[in-house]
Structure 1
């Protein structure tokens, strides 16, 4: 019995030491997680501020001074999270395209025509603030034509939209797209959707745009119906 007591007392410092090490590790991990979470929140605040500036004043108004004032952070904090203002601009568009893709994926549409029509209506019926964002997207396209970093992001964006359109079509049809459909349909819908967005900026009366898009949606739907019936 005495021997067991002696062994316990000899082992106790090791047990306490191990427990202390464990507590230190837990505290360090918690502290690291908190710092990471604060970093994510700060980055999000900067992106949200840049988005608001882009909507209210246009993308050319994005400067380090205006962003830091709107986000209520210092320039040191801004450039800790982003290499430069262009990187902030890119982060804004990445966030928007991700939100668009997520939102579109949530809804289920009964037919291909319904899916294509709703994508168009989301652009045609967009509130004024979103139409101003479409104007900002034109600036994004302009920079993509001249700057490689923006061009690469544009490729990423288009590829993301093509994947979303393909997955949505396959979900509605309950089958994979065949080779011809895979080449034509997602690209055609995406090109027309982007063109529609630009026309929505130009024309205040969008009734003709809605009529034209409805005809386009019906045509895409009929193309798949003919495929299902075995017609070319």
Structure 2
């Protein structure tokens, strides 16, 4: 392994550790020492890659976001657009422990964004990427004739809003909302605009 490869591997390990620690105890409670210990690196090495907690938090959020939905990327053009969109929805809800960790990071970002300009800009940028992710699937379905022509931006905004609202209730273990119900509510809301059946696809 080259020096550059070792540096990339170390950086990835630190970011993974930061995501886990932030999700576990919250950003306000973390220290660089705790992250370094969890990553198995020295505090000096951690500071070499990230000189402040704020920069570490921003990079950790970006890292977590980049990992979200990687399983939806495999052969996206080989599955119907409705299946691709359903997989995206699955990745945008806390459907497993890894995604629940991602949601904890998002919740930390929401809180920080109310008080910190850099965090607010980061949140808006990540939402733009989510919007484009959903919109891309909708546009593909329209182009292939699987979806009816519709206001792509409006559908994407609706999907994000419903995922946020229902995702929070799933994170709270609200007994009135389970994963199947959340998926069904979202799909029924967008199905008329897309001209597709209201039943959530088998993905």
State the shift of 1:179 in Å: 9.3
Q: 68, 83, 93: which one pairs with 2:51?
A: 83
For 2:172, the equivalent position in structure 1 comes to 202
TM-score by length of 1: 0.70
CA distance in 2, matches of 1:218, 1:107: 26
| Structure-2 change in CA distance of 1:124 and 1:143 (3 Å) | closer
CA distance in 1, matches of 2:35, 2:94: 30
| Structure-2 change in CA distance of 1:206 and 1:103 (3 Å) | farther
Higher helix proportion: 1
Aligned 1:88-127 pairs, distance under 5 A: 88-106=56-74, 108=76, 109-112=79-82, 114-122=83-91, 123-127=93-97
CA distance in 2, matches of 1:206, 1:131: 18
TM-score by length of 2: 0.78
| Structure-2 change in CA distance of 1:135 and 1:52 (3 Å) | closer
- 1:59 has 2:27 as partner: yes
CA distance in 2, matches of 1:87, 1:105: 28
State the shift of 1:169 in Å: 1.4
After superposing the two structures, state which structure 1 stretch, 173-182 or 201-210, moved more. Answer: 173-182
- 1:139 has 2:108 as partner: yes
Instruction: Give the secondary structure class of the aligned counterpart of 1:170.
Output: helix
CA distance in 1, matches of 2:137, 2:192: 16
Q: CA RMSD in A?
A: 3.0
- 1:49 has 2:8 as partner: no
Task: Report if aligned partners of 1:101, 1:161 keep a CA contact under 8 Å in 2.
Answer: no
| Structure-2 change in CA distance of 1:219 and 1:159 (3 Å) | same
Q: How many positions carry a matched residue from both structures? A: 192
Flag the structure with larger Rg.
Answer: 1
Deviation string 1:126-154 (CA, Å, 9 cap, x unpaired) is 23x54354233212101012111111111
CA distance in 2, matches of 1:115, 1:196: 20
For 1:154, the equivalent position in structure 2 comes to 123
| Structure-2 change in CA distance of 1:121 and 1:190 (3 Å) | same
Structure 2: gaps spanning 5 or more residues:
197-203
